[in-house]
Amino acid sequence: MDFLYRSTRNENETATASEAILKGLAENGGLFVPDEIPALDISFDKLAEMDYKGVAYEVMSRMLTDFTEDELNYCIDGAYDDKFDTEKIVPVKYHHGAFILELFHGKTIAFKDMALSILPYLLTTAAKKNHIKKEIVILTATSGDTGKAALAGFSDVPGTRIAVFYPKDGVSPVQEKQMVTEKGKNTFVAGIKGNFDDAQTGVKKMFSDKKLAELLDEKGFQFSSANSINIGRLVPQMVYYVYAYTRLVASGQIKAGDEINVVVPTGNFGNILAAYYASLMGLPVRKFICASNDNKVLYDFFTTGTYDKNRDFILTTSPSMDILISSNLERLIYRIAGNDAEKNSELMNSLNKDGKYEITDEMKKNLYSFYGNFATTDEVAETIRKVYGEDGYVLDTHTAVAVNVYDKYKEETGDETPTIIASTASPYKFTRSVMTAIDPSLESKSDFELIDELEKISCVKIPKAVEEIRTAPVVHDTVCDKTEMEKVVKNFLGI
């Protein structure tokens, strides 16, 4: 039987995996969640013998039950090929007492490539399966990395168009340059005068606008999402946790069945939720360590049980985590409420109305495997400098948040369980913050001088993604108010 996904806000709204991927978001702002996560009924020792694609098939086939074996393998083969600069796809390296899972070896050098390399394949396959003839319009809000990864994935993919909104003053220079130089004929990029939450709220509003949906339908379009609210993003992200674990088994660092901890630098709560879903499938995780930057709304939530976004939005050196409304937390809330759509809706309505909600004591108990903490901007710089000083390894600013929080966790708990830290971006994407953390006297250098400097000190070759933007012309120069998002989308589609 096809495994059903269900809306977090309406227990009667169900979808197959392919339908959920096509829709992106359920009605009334709900998110699709699996009714239950099937067990990964294959041994870790067996998985340890497989390559990335093999593990991807095993994990994803459990979750995307209405895709045939051929369909899924077609998607996996198309995604995890030489777009990645290493055959391992995600190398695991040991530094600073932890296993660093380098998720940034794809086309746009951020972990978003892990899912956005495959999402276009999943989506176009899902469209075919469901006999969708309309053109799919991917609407995306980005805090910096999703944008380019989605543009790269969907660039010139027949039957699709993609519009990306990013906070004009809230991304790094490399991130912005990557997006505005995108050449795909079916792409549109706009900076908005606002922050990431404004962009995400605007996109979600367009999704829920029935009148807009009718107009699109009439003109032969339909929306879908490349944000981690789409289950087609989360499922591919479960894979690398299982893959990393089995690499540690293969190299004898742990035995199959041993527990690990996972540390994830968190923004929209998608990456850490994927780790949690992997654990529900059978990955033995002891603690999910949720690392935040100065926008520490999740730390406060895990320590108090109250989620409260009523606070100043802080621009930090880890912009991809500058978020106050972590959309995917809703999936965890739904689960700890006992898959209760009514209770979840009540809390989300309160978030909408008052900007906050409080979970019950019962729900709080179900959070025992989560730990939250945060790193300030100064601590991030200090961590980059310290780890570089130890063995010459250069962390990006987001990964540094995770490393700093892991240090705090160990000091607080004394827990020595082998730990995987998700490294979500190449330091080349945040060169200015990274290089000035290591050597403040470099402040006056230009962005590309700093990039050359980073190559010298890290002995890691400048990635193609960075070389490409050195001379690339700007193609997209739209800047709009957050209230004009719908207008510019209509313009882009010519409707």
Ligand X SMILES: *Cc1c(COP(=O)(O)O)cnc(C)c1O
CB of 399 to ligand X, least distance (A): 8
Please answer whether residues 277 and 234 qualify as being in contact, where contact means their C-beta atoms are separated by less than 8 angstroms. Answer: yes
Nearer to ligand X, 140 or 266 (CB): 266
Nearer to ligand X, 129 or 398 (CB): 398
Determine the number of helices (DSSP H) and then strands (DSSP E) in the chain: 22, 16
* Of the residues 100, 425, 469, 485, which one makes contact with ligand X according to CB under 6 A: 425
Binding to ligand X by residue 321, rule CB under 6 A? yes
Q: Which residues of 328-361 are buried (b: 16+ CB within 10 A; e: fewer)?
A: bbbbbbbbbbeebbebbbebbeebeeeebbebee
CB of 494 to ligand X, least distance (A): 31
Binding to ligand X by residue 268, rule CB under 6 A? yes
Size of the site for ligand X (CB under 6 A): 17
Q: What angle do CA 418, 423, 427 make, to 5 degrees?
A: 140
Q: Distance (Å, rounded) from C-alpha 453 to C-alpha 465?
A: 17
Binding to ligand X by residue 275, rule CB under 6 A? no
Instruction: Report how far apart, in Å, the C-alpha atoms of 62 and of each of 41, 44, 447 are.
Output: 9, 15, 44
Binding to ligand X by residue 178, rule CB under 6 A? no
Stretch that binds ligand X, among 40-48, 68-76, 261-269, 368-376 (CB under 6 A): 261-269
Stretch that binds ligand X, among 54-62, 133-141, 266-274, 379-387 (CB under 6 A): 266-274
CB of 63 to ligand X, least distance (A): 17
Stretch that binds ligand X, among 241-249, 264-272, 299-307, 406-414 (CB under 6 A): 264-272
Q: Which residues of 466-493 are buried (b: 16+ CB within 10 A; e: fewer)?
A: beebeeeeeebebebebebbeebbeebb
Q: Distance (Å, rounded) from C-alpha 176 to C-alpha 191?
A: 9
Q: Which of 365, 315, 318 is nearest to 338 (CA)?
A: 365
User: Which segments of 282-340 does DSSP mark as H helices, in order?
Assistant: 297-304, 329-336
Please answer whether residues 348 and 330 qualify as being in contact, where contact means their C-beta atoms are separated by less than 8 angstroms. Answer: yes
Q: In what order do the strands lie in the sheet with 160-167?
A: 221-225, 135-141, 160-167, 187-193, 478-481
* Of the residues 62, 105, 112, 432, which one makes contact with ligand X according to CB under 6 A: 112
CB of 290 to ligand X, least distance (A): 9
CB of 421 to ligand X, least distance (A): 12
Binding to ligand X by residue 266, rule CB under 6 A? yes
Binding to ligand X by residue 265, rule CB under 6 A? yes
* Of the residues 267, 372, 427, 463, which one makes contact with ligand X according to CB under 6 A: 267
Q: What angle do CA 276, 277, 279 make, to 5 degrees?
A: 65
* Of the residues 16, 117, 271, 293, which one makes contact with ligand X according to CB under 6 A: 271
Q: Which of 274, 277, 248 is nearest to 260 (CA)?
A: 248
* Of the residues 108, 140, 225, 228, which one makes contact with ligand X according to CB under 6 A: 228
* Of the residues 66, 71, 145, 182, which one makes contact with ligand X according to CB under 6 A: 145
Q: What is the DSSP letter of 263?
A: E
CB of 100 to ligand X, least distance (A): 13
Binding to ligand X by residue 204, rule CB under 6 A? no
Please answer whether residues 381 and 224 qualify as being in contact, where contact means their C-beta atoms are separated by less than 8 angstroms. Answer: no
Please state, as a whole number, how many other Cβ atoms lie within 10 Å of the Cβ of residue 155. 17
Q: Report helix, strand or coil for 34.
A: strand
Binding to ligand X by residue 427, rule CB under 6 A? no
Binding to ligand X by residue 106, rule CB under 6 A? no
Restricting to residues 340-359, which ones interact with ligand X according to CB under 6 A? none
CB of 227 to ligand X, least distance (A): 9
CB of 294 to ligand X, least distance (A): 14
Binding to ligand X by residue 153, rule CB under 6 A? no
Binding to ligand X by residue 317, rule CB under 6 A? no
β-pairing verdict for 370-374 and 221-225: unpaired
Nearer to ligand X, 5 or 430 (CB): 430
Site of interaction with ligand X (CB under 6 A) = 110-112, 145, 228, 265-271, 320-321, 398, 424-425
